[in-house]
Structure 1
């Protein structure tokens, strides 16, 4: 069985994977409601105004780390959907993805990104867990 990094980082496939994952991010942001949702949408709006294509560039930068972090979950599918595996192990999957993002943000010199991420970090686990079904389905759509 191929590893998730081999599949998702294949140069022929990577641009479509990034586009799909940007769609996941957009859908997740749009689905948030209430005061917390407003904070997320405001923060997201701030980072998207930094530069055209900022979210796609960020997803592209994070993709290798995400693929590595999610590969153990991918390998244990055994006939189940990837979304089901991620949901069944949501705590570990969320923490694996958050660790990648934390490391990326810690290494950036972009003050706006650090500030926005710092504002949203407290609810990161909750938001990532909520996104796992979409993330799993999106990855499986490319990695089959």
Structure 2
């Protein structure tokens, strides 16, 4: 039986590279946003990174275990298929995959004791799903890169 995603991606020797590649994915996804809402995302992202350098990889690292837990069933199903790539597999299941991943941030927002965070998250959540769906092919590529090593 193939190793689980957890065994592959969360391995202490591999985890830093996974976090680095996921940060690269986030940076790329933000850079590719366009229009008014894209400008807002880019400006907010740059501001957060300037105010607290290192916050993006830190946040990715903190949530990685939970994200991997959510991706595990998708990886198991994908691993039984032949051909294709994991990014395409996730992209073919946009609603299911994005909801699984956003369940991690949903739980974190629910546990927050800061009303402002909960309020802002609630307003951003619908757009967040669209953004996650757009990132699924790239996410799958990063996951597969590290899971197949």
Deviation at 1:11, TM superposition (A): 0.4
Q: Calculate the TM-score normalised by the size of structure 1.
A: 0.90
Matches within 5 A, 1:117-128: 117-128=121-132
Q: Which has the larger radius of gyration?
A: 2
Match of 2:44 in 1: 43
CA separation of 1:115/1:54 partners in 2, compared to 1, >3 Å: closer, same or farther? farther
Matches within 5 A, 1:1-144: 1-77=2-78, 78-79=81-82, 80-108=84-112, 117-144=121-148
Comparing 83-92 with 107-116, greater Cα deviation is found at 107-116
1:49 alignment partner, SS class? helix
Unaligned runs of 5+ in 1: none
Unaligned runs of 5+ in 2: none
Q: Calculate the TM-score normalised by the size of structure 2.
A: 0.87
1:47–1:113 contact (8 Å) kept in structure 2: no
Deviation at 1:105, TM superposition (A): 3.1
Q: How many residues align?
A: 144
How far, CA to CA, are the matches of 1:112 and 1:53 in structure 2?
A: 22
Deviation at 1:7, TM superposition (A): 1.0
